[in-house]
Structure 1
């Protein structure tokens, strides 16, 4: 499994910012409301972050040597997948609401109520929390490299002669 690539998080954020901006333009042309998530979705985002942290800390505690109980490898794999999904979902939410905010910047001074701006900023902050949680929890699940004795030569990879090296 590959680790989270920060460049991909940035690409996802930029693409969704463009899509959010376009969605806002299209919805305003059709006289529809802004396509912003309600503030109640912050509760769901917070629950995802908390669950991700709890599972990540459990894996990290086992990795750091507190091995009272055996760690289920499936739990560890699911924790990594949850962390990656959390990071990418956070990038999507941050980018989407950033695009809407960028579209609304010229009209902010004309608004009597700045509630929508605060709502956009709250959703962007929630997205950033999800990205940070995903990246950190994924790091919790990495095993340290195997230690080799001083002076010992690392083992060479065996040749596969065109075949994939699966177990």
Structure 2
């Protein structure tokens, strides 16, 4: 399993930013509502971030030396996958709403309702938090390198990347 690639996060953000701008441009000019998430979606974002952090802190605590109980390897693997999914979903959400925000900024002078503008900013902030938490929790799951002699044998046995 590979690490989160920052380049992929940027690419996802840019692609979905362009898509969000294009869909919002078409929707607002044809009488449809802005295709953005409602502010209540911030509760879902907060729940995903909280669950990701809770699992990540369990792995970090074990990695830090609190090994009274055995760490379930499936839990550790799921935590890494959850952290990566959170970061990628955050990139998608941030990109989409940044595209919507870019189109909404051009309409500020002719529109009295700034709700979609503020809503996009709030969801962008939530997406950035998702990216940050995903990257942080993924780093919690990485095992520190051993000494020089031990790291060679760990690499040969397939160990050494994630807890």
TM-score for the superposition, normalised by structure 2: 0.90
Q: Which has the higher helix share?
A: 2
Q: CA deviation at 1:137?
A: 0.2
Aligned to 1:126: 126
Matched residue count: 158
Aligned to 2:85: 85
Answering whether residue 95 of structure 2 is matched by residue 99 of structure 1, we say no
Cα-to-partner distance string for 1:59-97 (whole Å, 9 max, x where unaligned):
000001110100000000000000000000000000000
Q: Which shows bigger deviation, 133-142 or 110-119? A: 110-119
Q: CA deviation at 1:115?
A: 1.9
Q: Distance in 2 between matches of 1:25 and 1:40?
A: 23
Q: CA deviation at 1:114?
A: 2.0
Q: Secondary structure at the match of 1:109?
A: coil
Q: Secondary structure at the match of 2:148?
A: coil
Structure 1: where are the runs of 5+ without partners?
159-164
Q: Distance in 1 between matches of 2:75 and 2:148?
A: 28
Matches within 5 A, 1:88-167: 88-148=88-148, 154=152
Cα-to-partner distance string for 1:92-142 (whole Å, 9 max, x where unaligned):
000000001111111113332322211110000000000000000000000
Q: Distance in 1 between matches of 2:152 and 2:45?
A: 44
2:52–2:137 CA contact under 8 A, matched in 1: yes
Q: Distance in 2 between matches of 1:124 and 1:77?
A: 28
Instruction: State the structure with more CA Rg.
Output: 1
TM-score for the superposition, normalised by structure 1: 0.88
Aligned to 2:39: 39
Aligned to 1:8: 8
Change (3 A) 1:37 1:153: closer
Q: Distance in 2 between matches of 1:132 and 1:75?
A: 21
Q: Aligned Cα RMSD in Å?
A: 2.2
Cα-to-partner distance string for 1:20-54 (whole Å, 9 max, x where unaligned):
01111221243100101011111011000000000
